[in-house]
Amino acid sequence: MSDVEQTLGRIAAAGDLQALDAARVEALGKNGWVTALLKTLGGMTPDERQVRGPEIQGVRARVTEAIAERKEQLVSAELERRLATERLDLSLPAPERPQGTVHPVSQVMDELAEIFADLGFAVAEGPEIETDWYNFTALNMPESHPARAMHDTFYCEPRDGEPARVLRTHTSPVQIRAMEKHGAPLRVIAPGRVYRSDSDATHTPMFHQVEGIVIDRAIHLGHLKWTLETFLKAFFERDDIAIRMRPSYFPFTEPSAEVDVGWSMEKGRRVVGGQEGWMEVLGSGMVHPRVIAAAGLDPNEWQGFAFGTGIDRLAMLKYGMNDLRQFFDGDIRWLKHYGFAALAIPTLSAGVGA
C-alpha cells in the first residue's frame, strides 16, 4: 500500500479532531512525508521537475482536500451530537445579567439637544485640540489680553511650522467654526468636553460645557433673555423658574451678563425654582462685533447673542449630586444609582427627565 493510500486511510478513520491533526502532521508537517517530497524538487533537473512536480503537488492537494472534508464531517457530527443531547429548560427563570446605565452627563446632553432642537437650534461639534487662534484670538483674546489668565490652559507640545495648539478651554471655538462654515443666519449649540487645569469638588481637569449662539439681523438682549428662560423652564421642568441677569465681563460678548436662577429649599435640599435665593448658572451676552468679524461676517449687518454653561453643573443641580469628581470615578454603585435606563429617551411630550 502506498504512502498516499495509507494517509488517506488514516484520515478517513480519524475519530476526532486530535487524530485527524496527527494524520495531517504525519503527511504535511515540517517532517512529514509530503513535505519531504516537496523538498526533493530543488535537486531535480528541469525535465525531471516538469514531470514530478505536478505529481507531488497533486498528492499534496489530495491529502489537503481529504483533511478538510474529514474535518467538516467531524465538526458537523459533533454539532449534531450536541444538539441531540443538550437541552435548555425554557421554564427556568433567566439568570440575572448586569445591565449598564446611561451616564447622567450623556443623558443631560440628550436633554439639551431635545430642548434646543425644539427652539430651532442645530448641534455643532469641533476638535478638542484647538489652535490658539480659534480658542483665544478669534474670541477677542489676543496674546496680551488679560482674559487669557482666566483660563488654566493645557498647552500642547509645539511643532515646527504649525500654529500653537491647546486643549480647548471652552466650546466657544465651535461658534467661530460654525459661522465660518455656515455663515448667517445661524442658530447652533455646541456641547462637548473641555479642559482646564483645576480640580476640587466643583471643578475637574476635564468637564463638559454647552454653548449656544444665534446670529441674525436685529437681534437684541430680549431675545437672549427669552431663550434662556424657556430653556431653563424646560430643562428643570418647572414653571416657577425665575432668572436675573447681572452685568459681567466676557471678552467675546458685549454687553455681558451672568445669569442667576432662583432656588428654594425642598425636603432639606436646595432645588432650582422659587426665589428664596439666587445661584449663578450661565454666562451670556451679545456677541462682540470683533468676534463676528473674525468669523468672516459683517458686524454692521449681523448681530447675535451667545451663552454657555457647564453640563456637569446642570446635572448636579437637577439630579442632586454634590461632588463633580464622582462623575469620573467610574464607581459602579454611583452609576447604578444615578444612571438612566437605555430607553429613557428625553422628549418634550413625556418630559426630558423621564
For residue 84, give the C-alpha cell. 441531540
Residues 258 and 302 in one domain: yes
Residue 305 pLDDT > 90: yes
Residue 147 lies in a domain: yes
Nearest to 235 by CA among 171, 282, 185, 305: 282
Residue 129 lies in a domain: yes
Residue 1 pLDDT > 50: no
Residue 293: domain span: 104-338
Beta pairing class for 253-266 and 206-216 = unpaired
Residue that the C-alpha cell 451679545 belongs to: 286
Residues 210 and 288 in one domain: yes
Which residues, listed in sequence order, are joined to residue 279 by a DSSP beta bridge? 261
pLDDT of 117: 92
Render 118-172 in DSSP notation, one character per residue: HTTPEE----SEEEHHHHTGGGT--TT-GGGGGS---BPPP-TTS--EEE-SSSH
Residues 25 and 143 in one domain: no
The residue-averaged pLDDT of 120-124 equals 93
Which residues, listed in sequence order, are joined to residue 210 by a DSSP beta bridge? 191, 309
Residues 116 and 236 in one domain: yes
pLDDT band of 309, cuts 50, 70, 90: very high
Residues 183 and 142 in one domain: yes
Residues 170 and 78 in one domain: no
Tens digit of pLDDT for each residue in 38-93? 888 888 888 888 888 888 888 888 888 988 898 899 899 888 888 888 887 778 77
Residues 276 and 167 in one domain: yes
Instruction: Give the percent of the chain with pLDDT over 90.
Output: 37
The residue-averaged pLDDT of 303-307 equals 95
The residue-averaged pLDDT of 136-157 equals 79
Crossing angle, helix 33-40 and helix 46-85, to 10 degrees? Answer: 160
Residue 95 lies in a domain: no
Residues 278 and 240 in one domain: yes
Residue that the C-alpha cell 489680553 belongs to: 145
pLDDT band of 349, cuts 50, 70, 90: low
In degrees rounded to 5, what are phi and psi of residue 239?
A: -90, -10
Is the pTM higher than 0.75? The answer reads no
Amino acid letter for position 139:
L
Structural domain ending residue among the three candidates 16, 51, 85 = 85
Tens digit of pLDDT for each residue in 277-291? 899 999 999 999 999
pLDDT band of 257, cuts 50, 70, 90: very high
CB proximity list for 237: less than 8 A, separation 6 or greater: 351, 352, 353
Residue 156 pLDDT > 60: yes
Residues 112 and 234 in one domain: yes
Are the C-beta atoms of residues 74 and 14 closer than 8 Å to each other?
Answer: yes
* CATH code, domain with 230: 3.30.930.10
Beta pairing class for 303-310 and 206-216 = antiparallel
Amino acid letter for position 78:
E
Q: Name which of 11-25, 190-204, 265-279, 296-310 the model is least confident about.
A: 190-204
Residues 178 and 276 in one domain: yes
Residue 219 pLDDT > 50: yes
**Tally of structural domains, the chain:** 2
Residues 173 and 242 in one domain: yes
Cis before residue 185, ω within 30 degrees of 0?
A: yes
Average pLDDT in the chain: 86
Residue 325 lies in a domain: yes
pLDDT of 199: 64
Q: How far apart are CA 166 and CA 32, in angstroms?
A: 62
The residue-averaged pLDDT of 86-114 equals 82
CA torsion, ordered 314, 317, 321, 325, to nearest 10 deg: 40
The residue-averaged pLDDT of 16-28 equals 87
pLDDT of 127: 92
Q: How far apart are CA 278 and CA 272, in angstroms?
A: 9
pLDDT band of 200, cuts 50, 70, 90: low
For residue 48, give the C-alpha cell. 525531471
Q: How far is CA 231 from CA 149, 228, 276, 289, in A?
A: 31, 5, 21, 25
The residue-averaged pLDDT of 11-31 equals 86
